[in-house]
Amino acid sequence: MVADAVAEVRESHPDAAFDVEVPSVAVRDRDLFATAVREVLENAVIHVGETPAVRVTATATDDEVTLRVSDDGPGVPERERAVVTGEVDITQLDHSRGLGLWLVRHVCTTLGGTIAFEDDGSTVVLTVARAT
């Protein structure tokens, strides 16, 4: 599923470089999670320079799968991260710039997981329940 998402994004962004290291594990709703993965990959390539470099890694436990998508761009701004993760309430001044990260948050929540950010926002971390 991750390889398919990378291939889709690569089609529209042929200059992007992808480094993918993901074990073969299953999540509860593959199609729904694929939507979130494509959205994060798309964000990674459109918010950086002309030749974005994106690294995708994943780890799994018996209960959950954690996918990390890192890019070489400036990262998701702190204010946006705080709104998307729920650290601050949405107001007229504090809100997300688009719907993409909200969609990712919704998918993760629906799948029993979370969205988080590392490395000053240049790494998006999706954690969801693993399929049993």
What pLDDT is stored for residue 86 in this prediction?
A: 64
Please report, for the chain, how many H helices and E strands are present, in that order: 4, 5
What is the chain's pLDDT, residue by residue, as a tens digit (132 residues)?
999 999 999 999 999 999 999 999 999 899 999 999 999 999 899 888 788 999 999 999 999 999 999 998 888 777 777 677 666 555 444 444 556 788 888 899 999 999 999 988 889 999 999 997
- For the chain, the 3-state helix, strand and coil shares in percent, each to the nearest 5, are 40, 25, 35
Strands (E), the chain: 17-21, 53-60, 64-71, 114-118, 123-129
Q: Taking the model in full, what pTM does it have?
A: 0.85
Between CA 57 and CA 68 the distance in angstroms is 5
User: Would you say domain 2-129 falls under CATH 3.30.565.10?
Assistant: yes
Per the CB < 8 A criterion, the answer to whether 37 and 5 are in contact is: yes
What pLDDT is stored for residue 97 in this prediction?
A: 53
